[in-house]
Amino acid sequence: MKLSLRMKVMIIPLTLVVAAITLLIGVSLWVVNGLWQKEIETLTLTQVALNEKSIQNLEKRALSLGLLAAGYPGVQEAYELAHGGDEAQGRMVLRRSFDLLQRDAQRLLGGTLETQIHFHLPPAKSFLRTWRRAGERDGGDDLAAFRHTILKASRDQAVVSGVEVGDQGFAMRGIVPIVNQNGRFLGTVEGIFSLQSMVDTALSGTGDNVAIYLLARDLDLARAAKAANPPLTGDMARVFTTAAAETDPFIDSEFIQAAQKGVTTAQVEGRLLIAQPVFDYADEMKGVLVFVRDVHDQIALIKALRWGLALGGGALLAALGGLLYYFSSSIVCNISRLVRGLDDESLQISSSADQVASSGQELAEGASEQAASLEETSASLEEIAAMTKQNADNAGQADALMREVSAIVNRAGESMAALTSAMQTINRSSEETSKIVKTIDEIAFQTNLLALNAAVEAARAGEAGAGFAVVADEVRNLAMRAAEASKNTATMIDDTVKRVQEGSQLVGETNDAFAEVSTSTGKASSLVGEIAVASSEQA
């Protein structure tokens, strides 16, 4: 589903607000629940401490009552009568003193608790129960079978105090030995307060309810409690309650079982249950004490706080949602204007993007071409590398050939130098020959002159000189041929000398050229050597 712009703007802050408010409500509820649990713990600790204090105070009162009775006037007289065999007279003496004793006890203890005093003869025989009328089981019965505290006090002749199961159930007892002025042990007396008296003290002004449970197996010791047919809860019998309707429906066997092991709490239908075990004078668990407190008001307050937090969170969420809607509208308007402005820019950007894409395509094609060129270059480089290696080999061969050429040129230079020297010698010989030919030409000229002179003389001699004239003519012809041959020879020698000179000049130039070739060949050989070394290194 496509969300509107306003929803897109609101969804994140709204989610954060919802999360924050939910977290705030959750933390607040956690704090409220924690405070309630803390209140329960405080109530439990307070009630348990109050119970312990009440039990201790009740134990002190029982001992105080016993001590007061043990030393009260007329008590030793009554015991002396009993030990003398007249228990009935002894009881009468004790009853005459009881009214004053009870008045002093009320004044001493500073309370309105009902006091019970029980006098015993050793080891554990009832002497007088002051709370009963005369002759109505007010004394004379043996208690040794079940009154272990009396036996202990008589045996040790020492004070014994604590909780013990009696006819009515649990009772706080303070047993004190009675000794005459001579130190003779006469018996014991106990101050008794019912555990219900302690409960009344612990509940004073609280409006709570309490139930006391006794182990079912000890009901035989609590005859009066058993006669009332108490209801059983698990292995215990409820022997006392301030209001059965306010305690029994909320206490079950599982809770009683847990309470036997220590202080236990539970919340049942708007009631807070606080239970603790009851230990006797020998520190044996004998029952359970359960306080039931109506906490409907507190629970209602907690529920109201929870609903208040939930409603407050909802109201806060609605208010913040409205604010977010208001601010989001402004933001959406601004964004809309911005979007319209961005549309135009986006068109320009799109055009630019197309150009960039085109340029990118061209760049990609160029890159492809460059890649192909690089591949070709790589192939060319491989070929160049192969050619370089081949050039290195050829350069090495060329270096060797240049060295041979250099040697040949050097030898040719030496030959040209020798040829130049020979040409110079030929030139000098040609010049000498030319001189000889000139000399022959001069001789032929002189011979021709002589032949002319001989012919002239033969002509003068006539026939006698005819033969001589013939000879002279032959000599002249020969001189002429010699002169002509000399002339031809001179011409040839001149040509030869000229050609020798030209050849000598050419040989000199050739020799110079060979010298230059030799120098260039040396340089070329050096360069070819360097090329060979460089090619070898490149290869």
pLDDT in tens, 2-27: 667 667 666 787 788 788 888 888 88
pLDDT at 191: 92
Using alpha carbons, list the distances in angstroms from residue 137 to 219, 238, 418, 514. 20, 27, 183, 173
Residue range 381-538, CATH number? 1.10.287.950
Between 478 and 249, residue with greater pLDDT: 249
C-alpha 217/C-alpha 211 separation (Å) is 18
Tell me if residue 174 falls in helix, strand or coil. strand
**Considering the domain 13-193 in this protein, what is its CATH number?**
3.30.450.20
Most confidently predicted of 126-130, 205-209, 315-319, 333-337 = 126-130
Check pLDDT > 80 for residue 92: yes
* Buried-state track 289-305, b at ≥16 Cβ within 10 A, e below 16: bbbbbebeebbeebeeb
The domain limits of the chain are 13-193, 203-294, 381-538
State the pLDDT at residue 188: 96
- The CATH class given to the 203-294 domain equals alpha beta
For residue 91, pLDDT beyond 80: yes
Q: 286-344, pLDDT tens digit by residue? A: 999 999 988 888 788 888 887 887 888 788 778 877 776 776 677 767 767 776 776 77
Phi-psi region of 175 (alpha: psi -120 to 50; beta: other; left: phi over 0): beta
- Tell me the pLDDT band of 398, cut-offs 50, 70 and 90: low
Judged by DSSP in three states, 421 sits in helix
Q: What is the pLDDT of residue 1?
A: 58
Tell me the average pLDDT of the chain.
Answer: 80
List Cα–Cα distances, 375 to 267, 361, 370, in angstroms.
Answer: 89, 21, 8
CA–CA distance from 484 to each of 439, 448, 475 (Å)?
13, 11, 14
**pTM for this model (two decimals):** 0.54
Worst-scoring range by mean pLDDT, 29-38, 121-130, 213-222, 428-437?
Answer: 428-437
pLDDT digit string, tens, across residues 175-190: 999 999 888 999 999 9
Condensed to tens digits (0 to 9), the pLDDT of residues 402-458 reads: 677 667 757 766 776 776 777 677 678 767 877 876 887 788 788 878 877 877 777
Give DSSP secondary structure letters for 213-242.
EEEGGGTTT-HHHHHT-PPEETTEEEEEES
Could you check whether the bond before residue 123 is cis, i.e. omega within 30 degrees of 0?
yes
Instruction: Return the pLDDT at 249.
Output: 93
